[in-house]
Amino acid sequence: MSLKSKLHILKRKYRGKKMAPAFNAIHTFLFLPDETTHNGTHIKAADDLKRTMNTVIMAMIPCLIFGMFNAGYQHHLALGEIQAVTGGFFSSEFWTLDNLFVGLWKILPLVIVSYGVGLGIEFLFAVIKKHEVEEGYLVTGMLVPLIVPVDIPLWMLAVAVAFGVVIGKEVFGGTGMNILNPALTIRAFLFFAYPTWMSGDKVWVHGADPRVQDLAEGATPDAISGETVLGTLAQGKEVAYDAMDMFLGFIPGSIGETSALLILLGGLFLIFSKIGSWRIMLSSALGAIIMGLIFNQVVAVGIITESSKFYGLMSTPFWEHLLIGGFAFGTVFMATDPVTASQTTKGKWVYGFLVGFISILIRVFNPAYPEGVMLAILLMNVFAPTIDHYVVQGNVKRRLKRVKVKTA
């Protein structure tokens, strides 16, 4: 008897029982559900919500794998054990087992905690409320490890995930009913509850703090640094990385947010599979570019001088803002969330543009942490229904005008 047949027998056995939602979630994750609709005409398609979520996860897997290698690379580089890569994306100095093992050791526990705590709460709510397990956390569970520092304590992540799933989603009714992106809700909780672990200069590179790990022989505390590009620019310092390093991802930062190249490929994959909105991605980039150009012009005419604390990020070339920080990752994988983003065509253009525009605005003027995409997306999540409302009302008014003209 095949595994599928055995699972169908078990499914009939558990039908109507308390643990049925938990079993059905595992069953439909492995195989297509055998239920069919009987009333009315429905859209027929080969995919379902689980397959859609799995497609998004597939788009993030390259970022996860690269993040593992980069975590090890930044660790060994900070301790002075290796030299900076010189051979481009396929440099043998980067893709080494030593780098991978450090990344696996630090990142795999984050993934396990994220899925373990999040799915555990999802299963618990499904059993208590007697409904099927919702698939939304499949993507959130992968997003969370990719948007946090590599050295964040596991207990902090577990507390944040529990808060994000319960307060950010379940209290609103579960997947499809939440008004804020769950992954960003989790990151926002970490940012406000444990700010030093989300905005310090030692948290982005494992072992960068000499208090955490013994220094390599001959190394000095001054040689250890885990500062991000945004942190360096915010302090008006000269960045040690060139544009190609930023584009490829050989820089410190959140685990999955450093490689703009892989994020771009993931975005193209989502667009090709018709899951991600190219309108939101493109308009977000345009909004960021325009805000960056405005700041560059302000510096060019002398309104802001080098003595200003805002000079570093304001003088950063507008296109460079697209490569640093979490802007690219947030735009591709979180601003396009179909639940919390605008639904109308015009609304997506407005929503995306404001995400990009506000991201760079907050990035420059935020005194606590030089990043803005998280707060910008959460802010626009709140206003997305309002944007769609006015777009729909505008369409209604235009149609009423056409009716009046025809009947006049």
Query: Which DSSP string do the residues of 293-333 spell out, in sequence order?
Result: HHHHHHHHTTSS-TTSTTHHHHSS-GGGGGTSTTHHHHHHH
First and final C-alpha spacing in the chain: 73
CA 38 to chain centre: 38
pLDDT digits (tens, 9 = 90+) for 130-155: 766 667 788 999 999 999 999 999 99
| Domain coordinates in residue numbering, the chain | 50-213+224-393
- Across residues 288-295, what is the average pLDDT? 96
Residue 357 tokens read as: 């525009």
Whether the pLDDT of residue 10 is over 80: the answer is: no
CA dist 192 → 195, 199, 275, 366 (Å) = 6, 10, 31, 14
Angle at 265 between CA 260 and CA 268, to 5 degrees: 125
Q: Which of 76-80, 158-162, 169-173 has the lowest mean pLDDT?
A: 169-173
**Residue entry with tokens 């709140």:** 382
**Residue entry with tokens 């935020």:** 366
pLDDT recorded at residue 170: 82
CA dist 196 → 139, 158, 333 (Å) = 27, 17, 25
Write the single-letter amino acid at 58: M
Give me the torsion for CA of 314, 144, 212, 203, rounded to 10°: 0
Whether the pLDDT of residue 369 is over 80: the answer is: no
pLDDT recorded at residue 4: 54
List, in sequence order, the alpha helices (H) in 132-195.
137-146, 154-166, 182-193
In whole angstroms, what is the distance from residue 246 CA to residue 265 CA? 15
DSSP code of 221? Answer: G
The answer to whether the beta carbons of residues 307 and 315 sit under 8 Å apart is no
pLDDT recorded at residue 235: 82
Q: Which of 43-57, 181-195, 387-401 has the lowest mean pLDDT?
A: 43-57
pLDDT digits (tens, 9 = 90+) for 100-139: 999 999 999 999 999 999 988 888 887 777 766 667 788 9
CA dist 346 → 43, 53, 199, 388, 400 (Å) = 25, 25, 35, 8, 19
Q: How many CB atoms sit inside 10 A of residue 151's CB?
A: 21
pLDDT recorded at residue 3: 52
Burial grade of 139 (CB within 10 A; 0-12, 13-18, 19 or more): buried
Question: φ and ψ at 242, to 5 degrees?
Answer: -90, 175
The answer to whether the beta carbons of residues 95 and 251 sit under 8 Å apart is no
Query: What's the pTM?
Result: 0.86
Whether the pLDDT of residue 87 is over 60: the answer is: yes
| Residue of 247, 248, 261 lying closest to 95 (CA atoms) | 248
